[in-house]
Amino acid sequence: MLILIKYGTENPAENWKLEMAATDDVIVLIQNGVFWAVTAEGKKALAGKKVYALKADLEARGYAVQDCPVEAIDYSGLIELLEQNEKTMS
Protein backbone atom coordinates (compact mmCIF):
# COMPACT_ATOMS: atom_id res chain seq x y z
CA MET A 1 0.00 0.00 0.00
CA LEU A 2 1.18 3.53 -0.78
CA ILE A 3 0.57 5.98 2.06
CA LEU A 4 0.50 9.70 1.31
CA ILE A 5 1.35 12.03 4.20
CA LYS A 6 0.45 15.64 3.48
CA TYR A 7 0.10 17.30 6.89
CA GLY A 8 2.70 17.97 9.58
CA THR A 9 3.52 16.13 12.77
CA GLU A 10 0.71 17.76 14.76
CA ASN A 11 -1.98 16.15 12.63
CA PRO A 12 -3.71 13.19 14.33
CA ALA A 13 -4.62 11.47 11.08
CA GLU A 14 -1.03 11.46 9.85
CA ASN A 15 0.17 10.09 13.18
CA TRP A 16 -2.47 7.38 12.93
CA LYS A 17 -1.50 6.49 9.34
CA LEU A 18 2.15 6.07 10.29
CA GLU A 19 1.21 3.91 13.24
CA MET A 20 -0.87 1.73 10.92
CA ALA A 21 1.86 1.42 8.28
CA ALA A 22 3.00 -2.13 7.58
CA THR A 23 6.67 -2.88 6.96
CA ASP A 24 6.17 -3.32 3.22
CA ASP A 25 4.13 -0.13 2.80
CA VAL A 26 5.61 2.81 0.91
CA ILE A 27 5.27 6.25 2.50
CA VAL A 28 5.48 9.43 0.46
CA LEU A 29 5.75 12.83 2.15
CA ILE A 30 4.08 15.62 0.19
CA GLN A 31 3.06 19.21 0.97
CA ASN A 32 3.56 19.92 4.72
CA GLY A 33 4.12 16.21 5.18
CA VAL A 34 7.79 16.86 4.40
CA PHE A 35 8.12 18.27 7.92
CA TRP A 36 8.16 14.67 9.13
CA ALA A 37 11.54 14.24 7.43
CA VAL A 38 13.19 17.26 8.98
CA THR A 39 12.00 17.30 12.58
CA ALA A 40 13.19 15.12 15.44
CA GLU A 41 9.73 13.78 16.29
CA GLY A 42 9.03 13.15 12.63
CA LYS A 43 12.26 11.25 12.06
CA LYS A 44 11.50 9.08 15.06
CA ALA A 45 8.08 8.17 13.64
CA LEU A 46 9.57 7.34 10.23
CA ALA A 47 12.37 5.14 11.56
CA GLY A 48 12.50 1.73 9.90
CA LYS A 49 9.92 2.64 7.25
CA LYS A 50 10.29 2.95 3.48
CA VAL A 51 9.91 6.70 2.97
CA TYR A 52 10.20 9.16 0.10
CA ALA A 53 9.70 12.94 0.08
CA LEU A 54 8.57 15.08 -2.83
CA LYS A 55 11.53 17.22 -3.91
CA ALA A 56 9.43 20.22 -4.96
CA ASP A 57 7.70 20.37 -1.58
CA LEU A 58 11.02 20.14 0.28
CA GLU A 59 12.63 22.91 -1.76
CA ALA A 60 9.58 25.16 -1.56
CA ARG A 61 9.93 25.03 2.22
CA GLY A 62 13.62 25.87 2.12
CA TYR A 63 15.07 22.39 2.62
CA ALA A 64 17.89 21.11 0.44
CA VAL A 65 17.53 17.59 -0.89
CA GLN A 66 20.98 16.65 0.42
CA ASP A 67 19.91 17.60 3.95
CA CYS A 68 16.84 15.39 3.80
CA PRO A 69 17.33 11.99 5.48
CA VAL A 70 14.86 10.24 3.18
CA GLU A 71 15.02 9.79 -0.58
CA ALA A 72 13.69 12.75 -2.52
CA ILE A 73 11.62 12.08 -5.64
CA ASP A 74 10.15 14.27 -8.35
CA TYR A 75 6.60 14.08 -9.68
CA SER A 76 7.57 11.38 -12.17
CA GLY A 77 8.86 9.31 -9.28
CA LEU A 78 5.60 9.79 -7.44
CA ILE A 79 3.63 8.61 -10.46
CA GLU A 80 5.86 5.53 -10.73
CA LEU A 81 5.17 4.68 -7.09
CA LEU A 82 1.45 5.17 -7.64
CA GLU A 83 1.59 2.79 -10.57
CA GLN A 84 3.53 0.22 -8.56
CA ASN A 85 1.08 0.23 -5.65
CA GLU A 86 -2.52 -0.71 -6.41
CA LYS A 87 -3.72 0.18 -2.93
CA THR A 88 -3.48 3.65 -1.42
CA MET A 89 -4.10 5.47 1.84
CA SER A 90 -4.45 9.22 1.55
Under the phi-then-psi rule, with left for phi > 0, alpha for psi from -120 to 50, and beta for the rest, what region is 27?
A: beta
Q: Does 83 bind another protein (CB under 8 A)?
A: no
Which residues within the stretch 15-44 sit at the binding site for another protein (CB under 8 A)? 16-17, 19-20, 22
Q: Which stretch binds another protein (CB under 8 A): 11-19, 27-35, 46-54, 76-84?
A: 11-19
- Does 90 participate in binding another protein (rule CB under 8 A)? yes
Query: In angstroms, how far is CA 35 from the centroid of its own chain?
Result: 9
- Ramachandran angles phi, psi of 89, nearest 5°: -130, 125
CA distances from 2 to 18, 62, 68 (A): 11, 26, 20
Of 1, 56, 81, 82, the one binding another protein by CB under 8 A: 1
Which residues of the chain form contacts with another protein (CB under 8 A)? 1, 12-13, 16-17, 19-20, 22, 86-90
